[in-house]
A and B are shown apart, each in its own frame.
Chain A
Amino acid sequence: MVNPHKLLEAYERGHLTDIGLILDLLRLTNMSSVKDVLPDVPVPVLRKLERFVNEYDGNTRVLGGAPPAAPTVAFVRDQLRDMCKNGKLVPARARDECASPDARRAGPTGDRGSKAHVLDLVSSPAFRHKVDNLFGDQGIRLAEHGYPRPLGRRTPADWREYELEEYMRALPVPGHKPLDLKWWIPHKTGMNRRPTWDLLCHILVKGKPGLLLVEAKAHVGEMSEQDKKSRPTGSNESQCNDRRIRHNISETNTLLSGLGYGQFSLSVDHHYQLANRIAYLSKLARDGIPVVLSYLGWLKSPAWPRDFFRDRSDWEEVMRRYTSGVLPGDFPGKVVQFENGGSMQMLVRSLEVEA
């Protein structure tokens, strides 16, 4: 349902959104403790999470404790409660919806580590130069109108990460239809959402308009986030979505394993984020779009003093171990060309974090 390590990390950084998320989960599931919501959490993590809930949620049935002092915390929490009451609960969206004007001016939550590095990159005057340098050896460069999204730190709309379906509607690739809204999940609800991307932009692949999809990582611990697909709830919509996702991943395995590079073992039960990234990559290419999926490692991220990526070879080794047994070893880097003009390529690249 939720990656407890990610929640804990968010707690330790003091993010409001994820506090809202866990409180929402408690209410939504009508459960009374963190352990009920996250049954698989290791005990030490559970204890920390419970302390976190105690600290921030003075009025829930979970426990007592003093209400938080910071007005923005109270504001966000009240908004979330109202949303719960009104049946409009959408935890991830709550960040943008509930942020006070002060919070909005302060910039995005989670503006640290990988997300912050991506926002710095897209805001940099050297963005085009860096993208061209990263991928130029493969005949890939940023399109004249690159439309990078996220775009910067000006407004919540600019720093938000996009779903591909939405991005392709708002900023279509010339000559191509956007992805079907029902392809990944037929029913989008507050709890059933599509994958979002660290960075999307328009590129030219050997002169043809295409898309760059970026999954960025800043430290080793981030590799295991979203490792497993959450279990479907009891609703028909959720069950239907779950079946569709499993079907898409299974179909991708079959198609890609038939390419002759080796066996693909994409799964919803492990390496789920990688599985959905590859499934989207394959789908777009089969739709006739030249598409590049880049796993981008941020080297020497100051946000992670312990498990940062030291250099390019360190990052590449982490990726090699991460994809081992899931993707054929020589799949990254290979260009797979389809007869309809689409192509796909997975590239492992790295950038140093600028001081």
Chain B
Amino acid sequence: METAKCSEVQEHEDGYVYWRDHVPTKSKTGRIAIRIHPDVLTSDEAIVAVLQHEVFELSAIYDVCLSNPHERMSASDYHSQVRTHNPGNFHCQAWEVSDKRVLWMRAVKHGKSA
């Protein structure tokens, strides 16, 4: 099951993906829409984990794109970072951060310090 999805980002003819492609063209606010599978919404922990994952991954991509004057990154680099089963990439790091966020949530819930 795909838990969440941002707008589809296509590689341009020059081999790059651009940050602007993450923001839907109809968005007047510049906000990025994340579509979440309805099943995720049945659990607080799942909601937090999935959103944390997406935010981390997008932030990492944003950081790379914004360090480039054209606000872009190579599509090859992009796909290396967002694909599954590639240990250590942004996607995997994002799940590690999500897990920590959920553990923190549980700790707070049970009155323990995080």
Give the interface of A toward B (CB within 8 A): 90, 93, 96, 101, 104, 145, 147, 149, 151, 154-158, 160, 165-166, 169-171, 174, 181, 188
Residue pair B64, A169 in contact (C-beta under 8 Å): yes
> Closest B-chain residue to A143, C-beta based?
B88
Q: A154-B15, A157-B74, A169-B63 are in contact. List 4 more A-B contacts (CB 8 A).
A: A155-B11, A157-B16, A158-B76, A170-B73
Quote the shortest CB–CB distance from A157 to chain B (angstroms): 3
- Indicate whether A170 sits within 8 Å of B14 (C-beta atoms), given known contacts A145-B86, A181-B67: no
* Chain B contacts for A157, CB-based, 8 A: 14-16, 74-76
Give the interface of B toward A (CB within 8 A): 11, 13-16, 63-64, 67-69, 73-77, 80-81, 86, 88-89
Residue pair A166, B75 in contact (C-beta under 8 Å): no
Of B73, B75, B89, the residue contacting A155 (CB under 8 A) is B75
Quote the shortest CB–CB distance from A72 to chain B (angstroms): 16
* Chain B contacts for A149, CB-based, 8 A: 74, 77
* Chain A contacts for B75, CB-based, 8 A: 155, 157
- 23 pairs, A vs B, C-beta closer than 8 Å: A93-B69, A101-B13, A104-B13, A145-B80, A145-B88, A147-B80, A151-B76, A155-B13, A155-B15, A155-B75, A156-B15, A157-B14, A157-B16, A157-B75, A165-B67, A166-B64, A166-B68, A169-B63, A169-B64, A170-B77, A170-B81, A171-B81, A188-B69
* Chain B contacts for A155, CB-based, 8 A: 11, 13-16, 75
* Chain B contacts for A90, CB-based, 8 A: 69
Alpha-carbon gap, A169 to B62, bound state (A): 11
* Chain B contacts for A93, CB-based, 8 A: 69
* Chain A contacts for B63, CB-based, 8 A: 169
> Closest A-chain residue to B74, C-beta based?
A157
Residue pair A158, B80 in contact (C-beta under 8 Å): no
Quote the shortest CB–CB distance from A145 to chain B (angstroms): 6
Of B11, B14, B81, B86, the residue contacting A104 (CB under 8 A) is B14
Quote the shortest CB–CB distance from B96 to chain A (angstroms): 12
* Chain A contacts for B11, CB-based, 8 A: 155
The 6 residue pairs across chains A and B that have the minimum distance between CB atoms: A155-B15, A157-B15, A157-B74, A170-B77, A174-B88, A157-B16
* Chain A contacts for B14, CB-based, 8 A: 96, 104, 155-157
Quote the shortest CB–CB distance from B25 to chain A (angstroms): 22
- Max chain A Cβ within 10 angstroms of own Cβ: one of B11, B13, B74, B81: B74
Alpha-carbon gap, A155 to B16, bound state (A): 9
Alpha-carbon gap, A157 to B16, bound state (A): 6
> Closest A-chain residue to B93, C-beta based?
A172
Quote the shortest CB–CB distance from A93 to chain B (angstroms): 8
* Chain A contacts for B64, CB-based, 8 A: 166, 169-170
* Chain A contacts for B69, CB-based, 8 A: 90, 93, 188
Of B15, B67, B86, the residue contacting A166 (CB under 8 A) is B67
Alpha-carbon gap, A154 to B89, bound state (A): 23
Quote the shortest CB–CB distance from B80 to chain A (angstroms): 7
Residue pair A169, B67 in contact (C-beta under 8 Å): yes
Quote the shortest CB–CB distance from B82 to chain A (angstroms): 12
Quote the shortest CB–CB distance from B97 to chain A (angstroms): 14
Quote the shortest CB–CB distance from A290 to chain B (angstroms): 16
> Closest B-chain residue to A152, C-beta based?
B76
* Chain B contacts for A104, CB-based, 8 A: 13-14
> Closest B-chain residue to A202, C-beta based?
B88
Alpha-carbon gap, A190 to B74, bound state (A): 20
Alpha-carbon gap, A260 to B112, bound state (A): 53
Alpha-carbon gap, A165 to B15, bound state (A): 20
Quote the shortest CB–CB distance from B79 to chain A (angstroms): 11
* Chain B contacts for A169, CB-based, 8 A: 63-64, 67
> Closest B-chain residue to A99, C-beta based?
B14
Quote the shortest CB–CB distance from B15 to chain A (angstroms): 3
Alpha-carbon gap, A169 to B60, bound state (A): 9
> Closest B-chain residue to A144, C-beta based?
B87
Alpha-carbon gap, A156 to B74, bound state (A): 9
* Chain B contacts for A145, CB-based, 8 A: 80, 86, 88-89
Quote the shortest CB–CB distance from B64 to chain A (angstroms): 5
* Chain A contacts for B88, CB-based, 8 A: 145, 174
